[in-house]
Structure 1
Amino acid sequence: MSAKIKKIGVMTSGGDAPGMNAAIRSVVRTCAYHNIECVGIYRGYQGLIEGEMKELNARSVRNIINRGGTILKSARSKEFRTKEGRQKAHENLVKNDIEALVLIGGDGTFTGGMIFNEEFGYPVIGIPGTIDNDIYGTMSTLGYDTALNTVVEAIDRIRDTASSHDRLFFVEVMGRDAGHIALNVGVGAGAEEILIPEENLGLERLLESLEHSRTTGKTSSIVVVAEGDKSGKNVFELAEYVEENLPNYDIRVSVLGHMQRGGSPSCYDRVLASRMGVKAVETLLEGKSNYMVGVIKDEIILTPLDLAVKGKSEIDKELIRVSEIMST
């Protein structure tokens, strides 16, 4: 293994996700293991432009593996989208002798990294951190497993109320462009219907399904709705539409919102973050750049950043079929 790189920077960008701190810890301690300096860059690309950074060592990241969010903070940066902003960022890296970057975030983070690499030839490696699990090149992103557990627990609690009062609950979960959370928690929580962006089942089919459930003896129901569902109505309009057409239902809406992002990461996310952090640093030491670290069939792999950004994560068709059978 080559040890030409002497100092690596690590940053988090975009929406926070449980497991980001575990990934930061892994990057820092892998650097320490290989006798490389590590610098934490605060507030993503904006902090890089403003030179907001601090040297980290193995003790700097103690007791963070169990914490949600990110100790390095995160922020959107309009300035980094400009050539001038990126030039400032590069100057700060050179001034601080930082020779490579580990970027923890989603497709926006990786897009910025690719542009930075093209313009300055600067080595970058990405670690996917987003609860939506919508990144090509990995079966699971950091935070996804934790978000599933958080949402299932919330829906279990909602079902207690639904059963007690014979109510129909529409529960909106995150997933603007991908329905991975909705599909998996829908199956895991026993939802009667699951509405996701990838499958437009139609409003009439929803009405038929709910009416069938009622005539076969179900006195309460849960419908999980991804925020990006393509039914043409938001979750409140959807509830109103069903109430107008099926007046016998007592309907409530619950939008889980940003609670899905928070909380202590699951064991799976902590272990995955640790594995990805090691791979990211060692990939840079091997002289490779412009890759994203991912996991496929429990094997840590590398995917070119452009494929990770341009590719589309596939919804599990077999799980859709399972959900249809389970809602009978």
Structure 2
Amino acid sequence: MKRIGVLTSGGDAPGMNAAIRAVVRHSIFNGVEVYGIKKGYQGLINADFVKMDLGSVGDIIHRGGTILRTARSEEFKTEEGIAKAIKNLKDYGIEGLVVIGGDGSFRGAYELSKRGIAAIGVPGTIDNDIPYTEYTIGFDTAVNTVVEAVNKIRDTATSHERTFIVEVMGRESGNIALYAGVASGAENILVPEIPYDINEVCKKIMNGYKRGKLHSIIILAEGAGHSFDVGKKIHEITGLETRIIVLGHVQRGGTPTAFDRIMASRMGAKAVELLIKGETAKMVGYSRGEIVITDLEKIKEKKKTFNMELYELANILSI
């Protein structure tokens, strides 16, 4: 393989730049040319390609977001769009592609692989909802961002003796809420995977106040309910003053943690190794400290299992 491309697709995640850097430099080290594809799959269709060199990825490992930008492409979901993308890749002599993104991005990579373009997926999403990998790029940073915010919120919650609901990202996945909730000692963690009884939530809050607690922190994944509606119900049932904090896109930004930088670097380098070896339709994952490889076809057939053991531990520790 003489020339490969790299793109980021879907939502941005801290650590994507570290992965891009690893792809570019590992390729050049092995005598392979690299083209960056801007704005994801739409960039493939528009031939928005730029040749990358060592300097192209200098001083980016610590930066959040993605220097290649990202976008969603409805056109790529059509046969005409895929045909345009493949033509552009062939016109540029690009034989393989590293796709950094989530499950939707991987579906696109799989479609390209079926049509003769070697494609390797690198999981980059703050939701950590990709199966066959313990962590995805950006998740650790997002969790730490939430924990840092909750630490500050807890100070004012104690001063005013209030209940705070902190809404975090996760329409279909409660992983950020779960991990951040455990790490910050939240009294309640509400996620879309597990139904909850608002009366039980209120009971736990009141039990805490009765034994002298000065505040209560609830971490709510956005897919588990509207935070303002939940806050209104808690106030109606308990009479306690409740405040709502919606962290929103702050969770996507910021400097990636050391863990995300190292994992992204390892994943990006392994993706290049696989392309050089002639592999395609694979995902590079992370498990028990090691880089693991999974068929992309398996990714689209399975949903990641929610960590019930950690969720139950959170309930025990928050009594």
2:161 is equivalent to residue 166 of structure 1: yes
Q: 2:6 aligns with which of 7, 10, 13?
A: 10
* Contact 1:135/1:309, CA 8 A, preserved across alignment: no
Who is 2:221 aligned against?
226
TM-score, normalisation: structure 1 = 0.96
Classify the secondary structure of the residue corresponding to 2:230.
Answer: helix
Classify the secondary structure of the residue corresponding to 1:72.
Answer: coil
Please list, as runs of the form range in 1=range in 2, the aligned pairs for 1:85-124 lying within 5 A after superposition. 85-118=81-114, 120-124=115-119
Q: Matched residues in 1 for 2:101 and 2:210: separation?
A: 46
Who is 2:145 aligned against?
150
**Amino acid of the residue matched to residue 278 of structure 2?**
G
**Amino acid of the residue matched to residue 305 of structure 2?**
E
Give the superposition deviation at 1:201: 2.3
Q: Matched residues in 2 for 1:101 and 1:235: separation?
A: 40
The size of the alignment, in residue pairs, is: 319
Who is 2:301 aligned against?
310
Please list, as runs of the form range in 1=range in 2, the aligned pairs for 1:112-261 lying within 5 A after superposition. 112-118=108-114, 120-229=115-224, 233-247=225-239, 249-261=240-252
**Amino acid of the residue matched to residue 303 of structure 2?**
K
Q: Matched residues in 1 for 2:315 and 2:233: separation?
A: 22
Please give the per-residue CA displacement for 1:72-124, whole angstroms capped at 9, x wherever unaligned: 00011111111111111111101000000000000010011112222x22110
Q: Matched residues in 2 for 1:147 and 1:323: separation?
A: 19
Q: Matched residues in 2 for 1:309 and 1:258: separation?
A: 26
Q: Matched residues in 2 for 1:154 and 1:219: separation?
A: 18
Please give the per-residue CA displacement for 1:234-285, whole angstroms capped at 9, x wherever unaligned: 11100001111111x1110000000000001100000001100111000111
Give the superposition deviation at 1:324: 1.3
Classify the secondary structure of the residue corresponding to 1:228.
Answer: helix
Who is 1:296 aligned against?
287
Classify the secondary structure of the residue corresponding to 2:80.
Answer: helix
Q: Matched residues in 2 for 1:235 and 1:175: separation?
A: 13
**Amino acid of the residue matched to residue 209 of structure 1?**
K
* Contact 1:133/1:144, CA 8 A, preserved across alignment: yes
* Contact 1:172/1:224, CA 8 A, preserved across alignment: yes
Classify the secondary structure of the residue corresponding to 2:55.
Answer: coil
Classify the secondary structure of the residue corresponding to 1:108.
Answer: helix
Give the superposition deviation at 1:59: 1.8
- Where does the alignment leave 5 or more consecutive residues of structure 1 unmatched? none
Identity between Structure 1 and Structure 2 (%): 50
The runs of 4+ residues in structure 1 deviating greater than 4 Å are none
TM-score, normalisation: structure 2 = 0.98
Give the superposition deviation at 1:315: 2.1
